[in-house]
Structure 1
């Protein structure tokens, strides 16, 4: 055998061995909003190799919207997306075997100008409220129930709602064109950094309604088939997520590394975004399914089938506890 044939054969064997090793590493394909805040956590997982440490390869694909992510997931082009558990409950009730690993409990608030004279939702009667997310936004529905309970006020009938994309609600609120605004948590953080203040938070409203504000709303959504066939992989994702959260809870340096991805225009915004993310980290431990069922009933009563479909009771097996 010539030395060239020997070397060629050896190189081929090494390539085959390396390929086999790579093939043994399970891959999780995540389809997430290209500019969503979940990318901060996924960036931390990849940059610190938390996925490799837990025996899998996380591959992240940015998509333009939640509908595109859901299509990729349901069509098999992605293994995991991020959504709220109410959507997963609706899908399970419709016969789709999806499961939910908690990711964040970050929720919203009604923000008003720093010099607003309003002290409660009742003070917004007859005025404009900007709402990102549409009339079925979960924060809006909880606040409607809270206003009815606390003030006997039909918030939908007694205020004028202005629905719009989060950046539009952010801009018009800062310009003083709205008496109050409900937005996604990271825009709320920026609004507070700009001098606005929370009139009432969704956490406060949920507590008053007897709900558990610790119930995580957002999470990683996977298929039940993957959970049954490879529960270790689902646990690995949950563990990598927790590692990233632990690092972001303690490391200013990691936040400094992430800052270019965060679209923070000022130091005040950067600080508020950090605080908002950390405040939304779910506590370790099982999700309180009784409390979640109570929230689902409220959402069904207020949002109807347009929001929850036929899911009027919490579907069994929805929450995967390793990530909670």
Structure 2
């Protein structure tokens, strides 16, 4: 029996088009899973919903896989609903962009009232961040003064914008450069840049994490510690090697869109974690909470002590 066949397997599910999958592909391509004492079994799918949950979240909850990626607000909602999920490793500050047709009437956040704004769903962190920024900077809430259209998935949202049914859309970050490069659309704002307008402490903190069931850190702590080390190593290699980044993403870095996409990736992924960042995430969640909505409190235990690197 080979040494590789005796390693524990970690089953992970990701959207094929997301940068989480790029990190996972880099782990496998560079042998960083086996070097850290486990074998990564990667399942890639689309961004469709299973009922009220994203497909990857449903796979984790149904026990089909042990690991996915999600943001801290979704993790808090799951914990509050009684689902025992926990963050196992930091991913990055993952926010999208507001994109509008070039030459249209929407040129800044101040132009949002009365416009048709597309979003994935009402709990999407991009939408909550945009609403909070408009309240802070312009004194209005787009949920109250704009026509908000939930598409249900990022691919459907992209298609709705390209089909002319929207004045703007809150796209996921990796969709933006390719669309802008075609010349028909412009990025009104990068939502990650809106964080600079928020009265929260610096430096930038990871807002998305690799997430597992809370039983896994207890039953296989070495497995998750090995995974966390491999994620950190993969991010470092992808930051240092544009060629590797291009191979795992499938995006040529020599094009304008490829270079723009890599700049966005570099600004988002590979952020270090420190324990005090949990308090900063709570402050950000409080600022993003819509008026009158329940507070997105981070339940005890959702950020796994000893695992986040």
Shift of 1:259: 4.9
Paired position in structure 1 for 2:123:
136
Greater C-alpha radius of gyration:
1
Question: 1:220, 1:173 → 2: CA distance?
Answer: 30
Q: SS of the counterpart of 2:13?
A: strand
How many residues in Structure 1 have an aligned counterpart in Structure 2? 298
Q: Does 1:208 align with 2:208?
A: no
Paired position in structure 1 for 2:135:
148
Question: 2:199, 2:126 → 1: CA distance?
Answer: 15
Question: 2:128, 2:84 → 1: CA distance?
Answer: 27
Q: Aligned in 2, Cα 1:313/1:127: closer, same or farther, shift over 3 Å?
A: closer
Q: State the TM-score, normalizing by the size of structure 2.
A: 0.83
Q: SS of the counterpart of 1:142?
A: helix
Paired position in structure 2 for 1:15:
none
Q: From the two aligned structures, give the one with the greater helix fraction.
A: 1
Paired position in structure 2 for 1:228:
218
Question: 1:80, 1:92 → 2: CA distance?
Answer: 16
Shift of 1:293: 0.9
Q: SS of the counterpart of 1:285?
A: coil
Shift of 1:127: 2.1
Paired position in structure 1 for 2:145:
158
Paired position in structure 1 for 2:302:
318
**Which of 241, 244, 251 is matched with 2:234 structurally?**
244
Q: SS of the counterpart of 2:33?
A: helix
Question: 2:15, 2:86 → 1: CA distance?
Answer: 19
Q: Aligned in 2, Cα 1:292/1:53: closer, same or farther, shift over 3 Å?
A: same
Q: Aligned in 2, Cα 1:58/1:151: closer, same or farther, shift over 3 Å?
A: same
Shift of 1:183: 0.7
Paired position in structure 2 for 1:277:
265
Q: Aligned in 2, Cα 1:229/1:166: closer, same or farther, shift over 3 Å?
A: closer
Query: Is the CA contact (8 Å cut-off) linking 1:170 and 1:191 kept in structure 2?
Result: no
Paired position in structure 2 for 1:290:
279
Query: Is the CA contact (8 Å cut-off) linking 1:141 and 1:303 kept in structure 2?
Result: no
Instruction: Tell me which moved more, 88-97 or 139-148.
Output: 88-97
Shift of 1:186: 0.9
Shift of 1:200: 3.0
Question: 1:258, 1:233 → 2: CA distance?
Answer: 24
Query: Is the CA contact (8 Å cut-off) linking 1:108 and 1:202 kept in structure 2?
Result: yes
Shift of 1:151: 1.5
Deviation string, structure 1 residues 13-72 (Cα, Å, up to 9, x no partner): xxxxx26x4564121111222443322111111011011111111111234446433333
Matches within 5 A, 1:1-324: 18=1, 21-22=3-4, 24-64=6-46, 65=48, 67-100=54-87, 101-115=89-103, 118-131=106-119, 133-164=120-151, 165-174=153-162, 178-195=166-183, 196-211=185-200, 214-260=204-250, 267-286=255-274, 288-301=277-290, 304=293, 312-320=296-304, 322-324=307-309
